[in-house]
Amino acid sequence: MDTVSIRGAEVRSAFSSLKLGPLTLRNRFIKAGANEGMTPDGLPTQALVKHHRDIAAGGVGMTTVAYGAVSAEGRTFHHQIHMTRETVRHLRVLTDAVHAEGAAACLQITHGGSFTLLKPARGYPRTASSGFNAFGALHGILFQRAMDEADLHRVANEFAEAAILAREAGFDAVEIHMGHGYLLNQFLSPLSNRRSDRYGGSVEARNRFPAMVLRRVKDAVGGRLAVTCKINQTDAARGGIDVQQAGVTARALERDGADLLTLSGGHNLYSPWALFGSPMPIADMQAHARGLSRIGPWVLGLQQPKNLSFRELYFLESARRIRQAVSLPLALVGGVKSLESAQRVIEEGFDAIALARVLIHDAAFVNKLADGRLVRSGCTSCNRCVMGIYDPGGVRCVLNGANDPRLSRALAAD
């Protein structure tokens, strides 16, 4: 199904193939990177393999494994993968399972910077600018330290090395996470970048370090992997990234060879609800929190807009402006829950549809759209699945049954 007729005109179908650099996807549906919580010992479990195998079998063109930290200090939580030689053979089990179902596999590679619960053995977490650490303060990490030139080159090389390991693990693509308040967003966003050197100030200067990371990764994989980036169209917070700044960043990443940009938004610290387009599960978050960290959900509840309600395609308006600014492939994330909305994304000139919650609710969502069993997801956008990142059982839809606890073990060594 390469094209469909819409209002008498033939347009690309969401089910047509898509070429991203050296990679061709069977269709334009991509499972977006979203923390699964299925790596309790920092290694993939049987549950993580099942999660992505089921989504691959359910029809997506590519599934993205979330939060592969490029180093141990790049993690936000203890229970996250960080890329090492030991990790590769475990991840190969996952990529083999995804490939057996006909989908491509992408690894999201990232670094938390100051957005971490883990205190370094010495000093403070490193990020764009020194000063008070608003997130870390709730976890006993009061300050953060600005990265110097040597830090920047070290971390850029860690991204490149993580991409090489991803290829050895069988991944077809990597996604460099530049959004949501993680390290590269900490450089891109004026909310966190107060530097006065060549890496701070103008949008172009704030782009410099993330663009360096992209170039190092591209050079390292040598055209053997698709290299994609996730960026914020907006931080959805006063003084943060707006769509005009995001357009400048998108053009810079296009010049430096990104094969796809995934257009997202929202900031983990200032506006997490913006990422989801609907209220966060404050009560669940408060029930999980301990000690000083209980302040976080309380403050979030005060900041969250009172009249916030879900609507499909909630990032579409801003994404149109970025579509006008660049010609490289773009994936739109944000509230696609129906066949009509998926096709509209393609009709509007975007190249792919990035999905998360609807696939957590029903891994076979794409196949069911394709064969007519569904025209709309049953996902309620309650966001309670988000709490699975803290649950030993991992992410699940609360409308479905619990995950099988027997699958929460690490994969057996070969």
Assess contact for 165 and 231: CB atoms under 8 A: no
Determine the 3-state secondary structure of 254 from DSSP.
helix
Q: Which residue bears the tokens 């606890």?
A: 405
Place of tokens 């979330």: 66
**Region of residue 402 (left: phi > 0; alpha: psi -120 to 50; beta: else):** beta
Query: Which residues are known catalytic residues?
Result: 182
DSSP-assigned letters across all residues of 291-353: GGGGHHHHHHHHHS-TT----TTTTHHHHHHHHHH--S-EEEES---BHHHHHHHHHTT--EE
Long-range (24+ apart) CB contacts under 8 A made by 394-403 are 394/36, 394/37, 394/38, 394/45, 394/47, 394/48, 394/51, 395/34, 395/35, 395/36, 395/37, 395/38, 395/51, 395/360, 396/360, 397/357, 397/360, 397/361, 397/362, 399/361, 400/361, 403/47
Q: Which residues contact 20 (CB under 8 A, 6 or more apart)?
A: 173, 226, 228, 259, 260, 329
3-state secondary structure of 276: helix
CB 207 within 8 A of CB 178: no
- CB-CB contact of 225 with 173 (8 Å): yes
Identify any residues that bridge with 19 across adjacent strands, giving them in sequence order. 24
Number of C-beta neighbours around residue 195 at 10 A: 18
CB 63 within 8 A of CB 360: no
Provide CB contacts within 8 A for 104, sequence distance 6+: 23, 25, 61, 62, 63, 98, 172, 173
The DSSP element (H or E) to which 18 belongs, if any, is strand 18-20
